[in-house]
């Protein structure tokens, strides 16, 4: 073996001094540029190499296809996010940190009316103001855009109508902020005020002037933007139920409450290309929308994603202010910066939809869930945003983790004259999930069984299919329930604690990446692409379009590349800020990044690995099958002394061709049903979670304090346990806000009353319970190293867990979120009246005595546990579809076995009269079917 690899000229000489220290520039190993601060290779970390490939990492859920490329370098190790230094030292550049030479300030004129037609805009006084460099109105871009291609209903600035207070009317760029603000007062706008709609129920009615007009597809003259009907399974099963729950919920709209307000800088460079700096979760959609709005080809635009100060779904739409900045900058010939104040953040909104949700559910004599019947009327505000998808998610994401006899869903999203709702962490699944989980609790009470056991005895197994056709792969639901039950000492607390103290359970189920790339056919283009480039210095440059919004996607990509190539993580440099250099990526939403992007990155890294091994083969003479990659070295597996440094192998591989380049892509397998809307909710994998929450309720004031949460989440495989725990704890905080105190308050005049962080009550550190994060690893066969999402799913269970715990504490079912003290107090007053007591301290907390079904459920759950383990570990590979629990054969299509097995996406005429609130949208006809009524 040679004495290390030299990059500097000169003789080898001695590499160590008499005192044993290394001579500068004469390191034996590693040479400069090979990376890492450690001079010698660290031993293989067998604790992080799976047992099936000879390591010591336990694999209770079975082996994984990526096991053979594990090197024990990064995966599974708590890793500080790679951008954390930049953040904690204040060097991260967020939207408003961008400063370009000669920049000017843009300001937006906003509508003072809820709903009005713009008759005229006179900008002459604005233009005459010294210091004003550009003025823009809706007339500057008549092109419509929107995040979903099917519902493009936004303009850069209002064209014809303004649709909510705060809607964009015009914009101005001036030399400084004060001048720009002065200019706003000089616009002369003439409005014709129209009759606004605030109540989503009113949105179902025909009106003279619907907020948007969809031509022949418009539903009568209503404000319904989207209606959904889905019915699956055997509806006869719901007749004569043993137990049933019927809950009508009212959930207020909530906002993401991210720290960084929106900010954008637009600059047309000397070559006439637009450089747009924006904190975006989905730079690619902004890229597309900019091209449409500005009428320039996409390649003339470079979207630069700045650091994102929190997104949570609230920065995933292409935004009108981004268009405004670009238009103003083009007119002014100088860079234009627009930064929102908090009020503007609330006006652009895209938060969770205010919802009216009705859930009826039934259980049969064997405590099987014979039917879910869900109706969701969601308030979309002024624009469509992601609403088309939200309308589906409110129903379809309730089809697991339980096996259902039948499923019925009606949903409608209506436009109202309020800031637009959109996607927010747990998109569309959160509200219905809460309603469903509380319903299960109620049914458990009726059947005198423990709600834990009710759940455990009705779970879908791993590798199965939901009633709606979703393909479930790995499934850690059971383990999650068992872990929180044990951790919380559930069996000694539930229904046994004194008045005011309660414990509750809630579960969650969420997509790990939407199976449908919105803008293209998944069979033609991949979901995600990652490029890797390795040059002579040994550093690995990874190009990805994945947007790190604080969740750690850059770290995840760096980790998997580091793992595959056995290089320290500081040698991996992820470049993800610019659309010029990043491959197209769909961005950070639907919890897709780790799953899809890391998979693409693994594929690219594998290609590099192959080239390195081939070079090492040439150097060492051993076939790659007999070579081991470990910490900047490649060596013969039976004798680590026979090996070569990573750099040597790299340079060998580079001979004749220069830098190593590889590209990896991820595409999802074909899956899902063929019915209308089958793609909504379809994902290559799903996450599962179960939380137990403990609360203290002050029965005199109605104040709720959540004191402790046991939070188990199945993320497949925690690539970075530190980040997963952070996501779980953060999700608890966000979900607690929605369930306890956060709401967008629309007053009697329809104005948003609390567009600021004092009156919009995000929980403080005092309200934060101790959260015990429990990571469940079910090892997803298609996830990168087995990983699934951990960013959104962990939010779902906290809401029902708290609501159920409040019931356990005071014996009152509350279905009006958030559970602010006045709502709880009102409930307590009702409870006192019903119980005939004068003092709330005399209320009795609920108690339960298990009935005869309880042992039956425990037995069934135990049997299912054995079934699930075998399926999880692929010892049992027989097909399993929803319905097997009800005695159906999974090998024969269900419609052939059961007469009346439904798979409907439109209601039968005889069903119409019985549909719920949102279902009323099906009483209306589309314009094209109205035979000239209009």
Partner 1 sequence: MMLMPPFTLHHPISVDAACELAAQLMASGESFDWVAGGTDLLPNYKWHINTKPHVISLARIEGTSTISASELGCMTRLADLTEANGVHPVIVQAASKVASSLIRTNATLGGNLCLDTRCFWYNQGEDWRRSIDWCHKADCGSGADCRVIPNQNTLCVATYQGDIAPTLMVLGASVHLIGPNGARTLPIQSFYQLDGMKKNVLEEGEFLLKVTLPEEAALRTGSYQKLRVRDSWDFPEAGVAASWIEGDPSTLVLATTALESIPRCHPEEVAAVLADGWKGAASIKALSSSLQKSVKPVNNTALPPRYRRSMVRVLAKRAVQGMVK
| Binding site residues, partner 1, CB under 8 A | 96, 110-113, 165-166, 177-178, 181, 339-341, 343, 700-702, 741, 747, 749, 751, 753-756, 758-759, 761, 763-767, 820-822, 825-826
> Quick one: 63 exposed, middle or buried, by C-beta within 10 A (0-12, 13-18, 19+)?
middle
Minimum gap (Å) between residue 328 Cβ and partner 1:
16
Minimum gap (Å) between residue 257 Cβ and partner 1:
13
Minimum gap (Å) between residue 760 Cβ and partner 1:
10
Nearer residue to partner 1 within complex by CB, 619 or 745: 745
Minimum gap (Å) between residue 306 Cβ and partner 1:
16
Minimum gap (Å) between residue 449 Cβ and partner 1:
36
Nearer residue to partner 1 within complex by CB, 190 or 863: 190
**DSSP-based three-state secondary structure for 26:** coil
Q: Tokens for 336?
A: 């234009």
Nearer residue to partner 1 within complex by CB, 180 or 884: 180
SS3 for 72-84, per residue? Answer: CCCCCCCCCCCCH
Please name the residue that has the structure tokens 């699944």: 429
Rounded CA separation 594/566 (Å): 19
Nearer residue to partner 1 within complex by CB, 196 or 568: 196
Q: What is the DSSP letter of 57?
A: B
Minimum gap (Å) between residue 350 Cβ and partner 1:
19
Nearer residue to partner 1 within complex by CB, 674 or 765: 765
Minimum gap (Å) between residue 745 Cβ and partner 1:
8
Minimum gap (Å) between residue 112 Cβ and partner 1:
4
Nearer residue to partner 1 within complex by CB, 225 or 741: 741
Tell which residue, 111, 112, 137, has the closest CA to residue 124.
Answer: 137
Q: Tokens for 301?
A: 């635009």
Minimum gap (Å) between residue 721 Cβ and partner 1:
30
Nearer residue to partner 1 within complex by CB, 365 or 700: 700
Handedness of CA 54, 58, 63, 66 (dihedral sign): negative
Q: What is the dihedral of CA 905, 906, 910, 915, to 10 degrees?
A: 80
Nearer residue to partner 1 within complex by CB, 763 or 786: 763
**DSSP-based three-state secondary structure for 483:** helix
Beta strands in 194-278 (DSSP E): 224-234, 243-251, 263-268, 274-278
Minimum gap (Å) between residue 424 Cβ and partner 1:
21
Q: What is the C-alpha R_g of the chain? A: 29
Rounded CA separation 583/902 (Å): 43
Nearer residue to partner 1 within complex by CB, 344 or 782: 344
Cα angle 228, 233, 236 (rounded to 5 degrees) comes to 110
Nearer residue to partner 1 within complex by CB, 196 or 916: 196
Give the CB-side neighbour count of residue 375, counting CA atoms within 13 A.
18
Nearer residue to partner 1 within complex by CB, 581 or 753: 753
Minimum gap (Å) between residue 341 Cβ and partner 1:
5
SS3 for 708-722, per residue? Answer: EEEEEEECCCCCCHH
Minimum gap (Å) between residue 92 Cβ and partner 1:
19
CB 681 within 8 A of CB 392: yes
CB 321 within 8 A of CB 348: yes
Nearer residue to partner 1 within complex by CB, 472 or 819: 819
Minimum gap (Å) between residue 185 Cβ and partner 1:
10
Minimum gap (Å) between residue 166 Cβ and partner 1:
7
Total Cβ atoms within 10 A of residue 39: 11
Rounded CA separation 702/844 (Å): 15
For the chain, percent helix, then strand, then coil, each to nearest 5?
30, 25, 45
Tell which residue, 375, 417, 368, 380, has the closest CA to residue 395.
Answer: 375
CB 745 within 8 A of CB 753: yes
Q: Which helix (H) or strand (E) holds 557?
A: helix 553-565
Q: Tokens for 913?
A: 């009269």
Minimum gap (Å) between residue 708 Cβ and partner 1:
17
Nearer residue to partner 1 within complex by CB, 237 or 739: 739
For strand 633-636 and strand 703-714, is the pairing parallel, antiparallel, or unpaired? unpaired
Minimum gap (Å) between residue 346 Cβ and partner 1:
10
Nearer residue to partner 1 within complex by CB, 29 or 825: 825
Total Cβ atoms within 10 A of residue 708: 16
Rounded CA separation 725/729 (Å): 6
Minimum gap (Å) between residue 62 Cβ and partner 1:
46
Bridge partners of residue 363, in order along the sequence: 243, 369
Nearer residue to partner 1 within complex by CB, 326 or 736: 736
Nearer residue to partner 1 within complex by CB, 341 or 618: 341
Cα angle 12, 18, 23 (rounded to 5 degrees) comes to 40
Nearer residue to partner 1 within complex by CB, 113 or 284: 113
**Phi-psi map region of 223: left, alpha, beta (phi>0 left; psi -120 to 50 alpha):** alpha
Q: CA of 235: how far to CAs of 186, 231, 435, in Å?
A: 63, 9, 21
Strand order in the sheet with 501-511: 501-511, 686-698, 703-714, 770-776
Taking the chain, what is the end-to-end CA distance rounded to the nearest angstrom?
A: 87
Rounded CA separation 361/442 (Å): 10
Nearer residue to partner 1 within complex by CB, 2 or 185: 185
Q: CA of 248: how far to CAs of 198, 374, 765, 815, in Å?
A: 20, 10, 32, 7
Minimum gap (Å) between residue 596 Cβ and partner 1:
36
Tell which residue, 278, 287, 268, has the closest CA to residue 332.
Answer: 268
């Amino acid at each position: 073996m040679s004495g290390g690899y030299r990059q500097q000229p000169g003789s080898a000489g001695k590499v160590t001094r008499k005192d044993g220290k290394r001579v500068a520039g004469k390191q034996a190993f590693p040479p400069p540029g090979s990376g890492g601060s450690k001079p010698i290779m660290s031993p293989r970390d067998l604790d992080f190499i799976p047992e099936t490939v000879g390591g010591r990492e336990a694999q209770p859920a079975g082996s994984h296809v990526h096991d053979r490329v594990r090197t024990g370098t990064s995966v599974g190790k708590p890793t500080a996010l790679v951008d954390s230094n930049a953040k904690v030292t204040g060097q991260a550049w967020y939207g408003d940190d961008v400063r370009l030479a000669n920049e000017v300030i843009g300001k937006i004129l906003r509508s003072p009316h809820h709903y009005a037609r713009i008759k005229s805009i006179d900008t002459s006084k604005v233009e005459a103001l010294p210091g004003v460099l550009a003025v823009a109105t809706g007339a500057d871009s008549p092109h419509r855009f929107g995040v979903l291609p099917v519902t493009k209903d936004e303009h850069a600035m209002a064209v014809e109508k303004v649709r909510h207070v705060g809607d964009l009317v015009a914009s101005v760029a001036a030399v400084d902020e004060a001048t720009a603000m002065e200019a706003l007062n000089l616009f002369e706008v003439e409005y014709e005020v129209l009759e606004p709609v605030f109540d989503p129920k009113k949105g179902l009615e025909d009106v003279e002037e619907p907020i948007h007009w969809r031509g022949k597809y418009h539903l009568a003259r209503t404000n319904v933007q989207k209606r959904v009907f889905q019915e699956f399974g055997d509806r006869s099963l719901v007749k004569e139920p043993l137990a049933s729950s019927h809950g009508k919920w009212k959930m207020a709209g909530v906002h993401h409450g991210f720290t960084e307000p929106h900010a954008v800088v637009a600059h047309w460079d000397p070559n006439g290309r637009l450089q747009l700096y924006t904190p975006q979760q989905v730079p690619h959609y902004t890229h597309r929308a900019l091209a449409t709005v500005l009428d320039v080809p996409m390649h003339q635009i470079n979207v630069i994603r700045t650091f994102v100060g929190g997104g949570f779904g609230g920065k995933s739409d292409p935004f009108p202010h981004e268009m405004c900045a670009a238009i103003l900058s083009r007119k002014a010939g100088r860079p234009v910066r627009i930064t929102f104040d908090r009020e503007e953040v609330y006006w652009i909104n895209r938060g969770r939809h205010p919802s009216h949700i009705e859930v009826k559910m039934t259980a049969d004599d064997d405590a099987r869930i014979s039917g879910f019947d869900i109706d969701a009327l969601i308030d979309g505000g002024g624009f469509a945003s992601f609403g088309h998808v939200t309308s589906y998610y409110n129903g379809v994401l309730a089809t697991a983790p339980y096996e259902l006899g039948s499923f019925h869903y009606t949903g409608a999203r209506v436009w109202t004259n309020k800031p637009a709702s959109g996607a927010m962490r747990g998109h569309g699944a959160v509200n219905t999930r809460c309603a469903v989980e509380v319903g299960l609790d109620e049914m458990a009470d009726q059947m005198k069984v423990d709600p834990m056991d009710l759940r455990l005895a009705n779970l879908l197994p791993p590798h199965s299919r939901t009633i709606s056709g979703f393909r479930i792969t790995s499934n850690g639901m059971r383990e999650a329930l068992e872990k929180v039950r044990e951790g919380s000492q559930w069996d000694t607390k539930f229904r046994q604690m004194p008045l005011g103290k309660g414990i509750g359970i809630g579960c969650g189920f969420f997509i790990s990446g939407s199976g449908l790339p919105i803008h293209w056919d998944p069979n033609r283009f991949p979901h995600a692409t990652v490029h890797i480039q390795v040059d002579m210095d040994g550093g690995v440059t990874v190009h990805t379009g994945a947007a790190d919004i604080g969740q750690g996607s850059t770290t995840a990509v760096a980790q998997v590349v580091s793992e595959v190539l056995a290089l320290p993580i500081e040698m991996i440099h992820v470049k993800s800020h610019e659309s010029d250099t990043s491959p197209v990526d769909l961005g950070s939403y639907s919890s897709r990044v780790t799953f899809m992007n890391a998979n693409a990155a693994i594929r690219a890294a594998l290609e590099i690995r192959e080239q390195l091994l081939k070079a090492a083969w040439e150097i060492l003479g051993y076939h790659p099958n007999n070579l081991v990659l470990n910490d900047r070295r490649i060596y013969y597996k039976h004798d680590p002394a026979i090996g070569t440094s990573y750099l040597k192998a790299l340079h060998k591989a580079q001979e004749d061709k220069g830098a190593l380049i590889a590209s990896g892509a991820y595409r999802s397998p074909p899956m899902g049903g063929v019915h209308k809307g089958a793609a909504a909710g379809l994902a290559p994998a799903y996450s599962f979670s179960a939380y137990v929450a403990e609360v203290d309720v002050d029965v005199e004031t109605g104040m709720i304090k959540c004191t402790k949460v046991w939070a188990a989440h199945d993320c497949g495989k925690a690539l970075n346990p530190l980040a997963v725990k952070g996501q779980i704890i953060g999700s608890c905080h966000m979900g607690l806000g929605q369930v306890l105190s956060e709401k967008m308050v629309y007053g009697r005049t329809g104005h948003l009353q609390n567009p600021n962080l004092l009156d919009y009550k995000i929980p403080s550190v005092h309200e934060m319970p101790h959260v015990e994060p429990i990571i469940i690893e079910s090892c997803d066969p298609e996830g990168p190293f087995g990983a699934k999402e951990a960013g959104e799913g962990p939010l779902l269970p906290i809401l029902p867990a708290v609501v159920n715990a409040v019931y356990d504490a005071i014996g009152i079912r509350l279905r009006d979120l958030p559970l602010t003290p006045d709502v709880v107090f009102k409930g307590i007053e009702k409870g006192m009246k019903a119980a005939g007591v004068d003092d709330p301290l005399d209320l009795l907390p609920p108690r339960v005595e298990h009935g005869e079904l309880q042992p039956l459920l425990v037995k069934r759950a135990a049997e299912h546990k054995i079934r699930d383990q075998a399926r999880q570990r692929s010892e049992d590979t027989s097909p399993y579809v929803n319905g097997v629990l009800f005695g159906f054969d999974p090998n024969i299509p269900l419609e052939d076995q059961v007469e009346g097995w439904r798979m409907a996406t439109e209601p039968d005429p005889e069903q119409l009269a019985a549909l719920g609130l949102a279902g009323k949208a099906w009483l209306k006809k589309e314009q094209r079917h109205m035979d000239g009524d209009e």
